[in-house]
Structure 1
Amino acid sequence: MSYSVESLQRQFKLFRMSETAKELPDFLRKAESHSWTYQEFLHELLSYEESCREQKMIEKHLKWARFPYQKSLNEFDLQEQRSLSSRQLKQLKELSWLEQSFNLIFLGPPGVGKTHLAIGLGLEAIQNGQRVSFISMGELIPLLKTEEYLRKAQIQLNRIRKADLVIIDDLMYMAMDQHEANLFFHLINHLYERSSIILTSNKGPEDWGELLGDQGITTAILDRLLHRSEVIHLNGESHRIKYRKSIF
């Protein structure tokens, strides 16, 4: 009994192995020219399918992460940011803090690389199979306030709550009223010990109470964020201002 390549391709597609189905004729030619054993042929075929699925998953997670831009940790210039050592950067890149559900808090003035560092770690986490969600504080508060009646807000917040790593950029850049502070507390409370959180802010935790407007909520938020966390201070001149481009 003989089977056509087309019929085999249809069967691969039936089992949702569409990428392998496309490459099947090429694999058959290679198997014949290299005299692959049955085991070698199956190994090559399944390794290719596994690689394709991993790449698709990474692409999906990158889309869900909603990064404003993509910059890797390899692009982070330690010569420009001397408050972080090469050893510290390597330790962060190893992601052991993520496995232990630790939080990272990057503090410092604008333009010193806080967001770049957060995104770089988010990209590393995605490459390691983790789900990541990036959002600025300015986007997060309106989402929390409209979750009850906007489907789009519900979907995005559901992804944030299910993420292994949540990055909140520009934390406390604006004051919140009591309702907004309550909503933010409930999100942090949900993520507590379920996910790791990376926060970037140009204000230290000692100033957050003034912006949240409620000392009780501030204490509850800090209690959860700082319980298992590493606070990293980044200093120096704004990279954006230092390397600004001029028309003239």
Structure 2
Amino acid sequence: MSSINVLMNNLEKLKLFKIKENINSYLDMMADGVKTPMDAFSEMIQMEVNHKEDLAIVSCVKIANFPFQRGIQDFDFSFQPSLDKNKVMDLASLRFLEKTENI
């Protein structure tokens, strides 16, 4: 069995589906010198982490049994005209956390 087959089987066993899905393109990029192995591994691992986080969020929402999902972009500011849309959107960006400011 070739090493690529062993790698693919191990990625499947470890449930690293995003890495398995993208490994060939990253191997090509490393062979062409477009990506260093460190950059490629870092990007693939970050891609897998993001995928697992997305799955966890979907799972939590499903378990919570919400009747529907809404985001800040779905809020009807015309229904509550006393709210300053710009201020709410600024708070939603969480910029104040990066600046370590109180709201």
TM-score by length of 2: 0.68
SS, match of residue 84 in structure 1: coil
The 1-side partners of 2:61 and 2:47 are apart by: 21
1:22 CA displacement = 2.7
Counterpart of 2:84, as a letter, is S
Name the amino acid aligned to 1:83: S
Residue 62 of structure 1: aligned partner: 61
Q: How many Å separate the matches in 2 of 1:31 and 1:55? A: 27
Kept after mapping to 2: 8 A contact 1:17/1:49: yes
CA contact (8 A) 1:31 1:41 kept: yes
Q: CA deviation at 1:91?
A: 7.1
Letter in 1 for 2:71: S
Matched, 1:52 2:51: yes
Residue 24 of structure 2 is matched in structure 1 by 25
Can you list the C-alpha shifts for 1:76-122, whole angstroms capped at 9, x where unaligned? 121221233333x347634x9xxxxxxxxxxxxxxxxxxxxxxxxxx
Q: Measured at CA, do residues 74 and 39 of structure 1 come closer, stay the same or move farther in structure 2, by a change above 3 Å? A: same
Name the aligned partner's letter for residue 71 of structure 1: R
CA–CA distance in 2 between the matches of 1:34 and 1:52?
26
**Greater Rg, structure 1 or structure 2?**
1
Give the Cα–Cα distance (whole angstroms) in 2 for the partners of residues 91 and 36 of structure 1.
36
**Cα distance in structure 1, aligned partners of 2:34 and 2:83:** 53
For structure 1, list consecutive stretches of 5 or more residues without a partner in the other structure: 97-248
Q: Distance in 1 between matches of 2:40 and 2:82?
A: 52
CA RMSD after TM alignment: 2.5
Q: Indicate the structure with greater strand content.
A: 1
Percent identity over paired residues? 21
Provide Cα deviations, 1:112-137, integer angstroms capped at 9, x if missing partner: xxxxxxxxxxxxxxxxxxxxxxxxxx
Shift of 1:34: 4.2
Correspondence for 2:73: 74
Count of equivalent residues: 92
> Which stretches in structure 2 are left out of the alignment for 5+ residues?
97-103
Q: Does 2:11 align with 1:7?
A: no
Q: TM-score, normalised to structure 1's length?
A: 0.32
- CA offset at residue 50 of structure 1? 1.2
Query: Which of the pair has the greater relative contact order for Cα pairs under 8 Å at 6+ separation?
Result: 1
Question: Distance in 1 between the 2:21 and 2:75 partners?
Answer: 39
Please give the alpha-carbon distance, in whole angstroms, between the structure 2 residues aligned to 1:33 and 1:49. 23
Distance 1:12 1:40 in 2: 19
